[in-house]
Amino acid sequence: MPAAPTTPNESKRLAALRSYNILDTATEEDFDELTELASAICSTPIALISFVDKDRQWFKSRHGLDVSETDRALSFCAHAINSPTEILEVENAKEDKRFMDNELVTGPMDITFYAGVPLVDVSGAALGSLCVIDSVQHKLNTIQRKALKILARQVIDKLELRRKVVELDNTRTRIQRLNELLVAKEREATQIIEHTPTAMALHIGEDMEIRFANKMMLGAWGKDERVFGMNFKDALPELDKLDFPTTMRQVYRKGIHYEQKEAHMLYMHYGKLKEFYYNYAFTPLKLSDGSVWGVLNTAVDVTDIVKSRIAVERAEEQLRLAVQSAQLGTWSINADTYEFDASERTKELFGFLPDEVITYEAAVNQITEEYRDKVKKTVEAAIKENRGFDMEYAITGLHNGKLRWVRATGKLYSSGDGKAAQFSGTLSDITERKQDEQRKNDFIGMVSHELKTPLTSMKGYLQIIGQRANKLGDVPIADFTKKTQRQADKMQALVTGFLDVARITEGKIHLNNDVFDINDVMRAAEDELRVNCKGAHITFRLCDSLLINGDKDKMEQVLINFINNAIKYSADEPEVTITCSKDGDNALVIVSDRGIGIPAADIPYIFDRFYRVENTHVKMISGFGIGLYICKEIIEHHGGTIGVKSEPGKGSDFWFSVPLSK
């Protein structure tokens, strides 16, 4: 038996069949009712709804048959679909050449009668057939044929309906998924808006109804969610003066973005008048056709930034004025390249013209030889070690050759943005002060010198008077002479001190260079003080022999100065301990007292010339503030260091350390 030829538009037909998603689905009552009806109407035991697949025919409903599918080559329906508009009616297949040797006819199925109406869908595709089958010969009457056709249409209708239901179901699932997606997106968007560091609000309509505002915006307004749904003007009367709704309305009408930077605002915020600076923007929100449906209001509070910038600008202006009025020069050195940037005043102090370029080297060249190297080294060390810089030195002006004294102070400022640090500071003209000091020094030096000779002869005469009074047994005169001698000694110490200062400032300090034991210095001081300081408890703790190079008398002068101060700045019964020890390659001498001590603020200046602590204790004690200055100069000329550790009310430890002889 020849198999039915495939339909002319087979691939389209198969695609249509697949689109119903019907193949291999479970039986459905709706379809089974139709086959039952067909079988009853046509009085056949078997009725089938058969779909012709690529290589098989598959039965969606099979009334009176157990088999669910057969080979397409055996299929009667495959024949039926080739004439989609007609019923294929085979009264006796056993006598029909097309089917007589068909397995379904000759085999156990024993088909004799077959009538099939093609199932043609709206697109014209013949999907299969509704057929009735019997093992005995039949002939359908007109009513039966018509009924079969009606039932076939019903099958198609159900098929369409089924597809629509499936489509509807799919659409519903899709919508549901979209909805879930939408809800998730909205949740994400809300969270982003809530947590963004920008204040945000959404306004709708001509009156700028507040549709939504995040926490930042509510905070900026000083409001809560009760303003949602209100018109801007009604919700925020505090901002009336700033008239935002008018600007927003323009944005809404014209669809043009509007923004302001660092806008200054003054308004009542949580009941208090406050000042703010905001960067804010009104952005039109548009539909795809370009029409505006709302205005997005975004704002960033830049109050702190603007206020600190204003403060910096103000401070800079004040500094500029101060620098100007104090006639200070300013300068800056690039810490990497030593590129030098100098103000006009700095150039003037170095003797340069205002429009002349001044390099670091050119500036250094104008420093007098005496200071040049020291300034260079100190600048370099300050940059390298990030230390402050404060130096006084002399300059010879480039064009005018004028000698000036200047004080330069500076500090290293790191740029913080990866650029080289700048070492910058100020320069002030201290020529006048220096000249004053010079005059004072000259005067002190001259007066001290002039006093020295009369004082020496006065002391000589006093000695003779004393001896005479003793010889004559004139006790009162002998006593007065002793007292006068003591005063003359004090005066002589003072004059010697002033002469030392004058010598130091002129760089004329002279040191002997002997090798001596530091213990000998201690012993000499002890002898001297045994005579002069009877009331004090002074303890000397000698050490193993420590040899040093230098001037023994000057070293003794330092030690006696320390001890005299320890006694001078202590209460009635001074307790002073003097110790010496080896400290590395140095000899260390410490003079400890339990006296009035020194405030921390005074300690850095205590070795300066003419410096005295300003308090009532010290005022009662005579002195000129030159002793420690001289001590420092002597110790430093020995290559040593000097210092003090002190606590007010508890006492002081004055110390010096000098290198051991090699």
- Contacts with ligand ADP, residue ranges (CB under 6 A): 565-566, 569, 593, 595-598, 606, 611-613, 618, 623-629, 652
DSSP letter assigned to residue 623 = -
Q: How far apart are CB 446 and ligand ADP at their closest, in Å?
A: 21
The length of the chain is 662
Residues 6+ apart with CB under 8 A from 355: none
Q: How far apart are CB 626 and ligand ADP at their closest, in Å?
A: 6
Q: How far apart are CB 490 and ligand ADP at their closest, in Å?
A: 11
Minimum CB distance to ligand ADP smaller for 324 or for 615: 615
Tell me the C-alpha distance between 378 and 59, whole Å. Answer: 106
Minimum CB distance to ligand ADP smaller for 245 or for 597: 597
Q: How far apart are CB 464 and ligand ADP at their closest, in Å?
A: 31
What separation in angstroms does the CA of 335 have from each of 50, 205, 340, 517? 95, 60, 10, 47
CB 208 within 8 A of CB 243: no
Q: How far apart are CB 308 and ligand ADP at their closest, in Å?
A: 43
Minimum CB distance to ligand ADP smaller for 393 or for 498: 498
Instruction: Work out the widest C-alpha separation in the chain, in whole angstroms.
Output: 188
Task: Map 326-365 to HEC letters.
Answer: CCCEEEEEECCCCCEEECHHHHHHCCCCCCCCCCHHHHHH
Q: How far apart are CB 657 and ligand ADP at their closest, in Å?
A: 18
Minimum CB distance to ligand ADP smaller for 89 or for 593: 593
Tell me the C-alpha distance between 489 and 461, whole Å. Answer: 13
Radius of gyration of the chain (CA): 58
CB 338 within 8 A of CB 379: no
Where would I find the H helices in 506-590?
A: 518-532, 552-568
Minimum CB distance to ligand ADP smaller for 131 or for 628: 628
CB 442 within 8 A of CB 431: no
Q: How far apart are CB 612 and ligand ADP at their closest, in Å?
A: 3
Minimum CB distance to ligand ADP smaller for 220 or for 590: 590
Closest residue by Cα to residue 22 from 162, 177, 220: 162
Minimum CB distance to ligand ADP smaller for 155 or for 522: 522
* In 80-156, beta strands by DSSP E: 88-90, 113-120, 126-134
Minimum CB distance to ligand ADP smaller for 625 or for 643: 625
Q: How far apart are CB 266 and ligand ADP at their closest, in Å?
A: 55
β-bridge partners, 266: 275
Minimum CB distance to ligand ADP smaller for 193 or for 644: 644
Q: How far apart are CB 598 and ligand ADP at their closest, in Å?
A: 5
Report which secondary-structure segment, H or E, holds 50.
strand 46-52
Closest residue by Cα to residue 596 from 564, 631, 566, 560: 566
